């Protein structure tokens, strides 16, 4: 298996919605137009692709971010297809996000309850000083 990593390549909303379903991440995958807006308005997206022997490529991971490339970066989605989890793909996606944003930017994310144990494993520190207004839908 060969995994290729790419930054800011064109993506279809359908492909990303399918990956979200296969990864188990909770996103509005039944609203493809909304997924399309999520992709269009992100300014840093790092993806992982499985390159098959016949040259076919399958989207197997994504890190979707909003950043100013100077001070902060919000990692909104980190998703890896369940069949590809526990192979270091998520860690590589985060590493490549860090490389893209540089040393001056901090990387922040909100973890799903089921992923709370994962993020310390790949180097994140837990913070207690965050606040949010939840989405209405």
The gap from C-alpha 115 to its chain's centroid, in whole angstroms, comes to 13
β 44-51/57-67 pair status = antiparallel
CB 4 within 8 A of CB 57: yes
pTM score of the predicted model: 0.93
Q: How would residue 112 be classed by pLDDT, with cut points 50, 70 and 90?
A: confident
> Looking at residues 34-47, what average pLDDT do you find?
97
Q: Is the pLDDT of residue 130 over 90?
A: no
Backbone angles phi, psi at 70, to 5 degrees: -135, -30
Cα–Cα distance, 113 to 45 (Å, whole number): 23
pLDDT digits (tens, 9 = 90+) for 87-96: 999 999 999 9
CB 13 within 8 A of CB 32: yes
Q: Is the pLDDT of residue 137 over 90?
A: no
pLDDT of residue 122: 87
Write down the CATH number for the domain with range 2-121: 3.40.630.30
Q: Name the H helices within 1-137.
A: 13-23, 32-41, 89-101, 118-121
CB 107 within 8 A of CB 122: no
pLDDT of residue 90: 96
Helix (H, G, I), strand (E, B) or coil at 47: strand
Q: Is the pLDDT of residue 118 over 90?
A: no
């Amino acid at each position: 298996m060969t995994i290729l990593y790419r930054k800011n390549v064109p993506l279809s909303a359908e492909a990303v919605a399918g990956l979200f379903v296969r990864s188990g991440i909770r996103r509005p995958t039944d609203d493809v137009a909304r997924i399309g807006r999520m992709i269009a308005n992100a300014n840093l997206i790092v993806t992982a692709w499985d390159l098959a022997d016949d040259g076919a490529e399958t989207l197997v991971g994504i890190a979707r971010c909003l950043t100013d490339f100077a001070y902060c970066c919000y990692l909104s989605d980190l998703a890896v297809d369940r069949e590809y989890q526990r192979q270091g793909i998520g860690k590589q996606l985060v590493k490549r996000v860090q490389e893209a944003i540089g040393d001056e930017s901090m990387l922040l994310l909100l973890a799903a309850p089921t992923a709370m144990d994962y993020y310390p494993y790949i180097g994140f520190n837990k913070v207690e000083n965050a606040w949010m207004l939840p989405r209405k839908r």
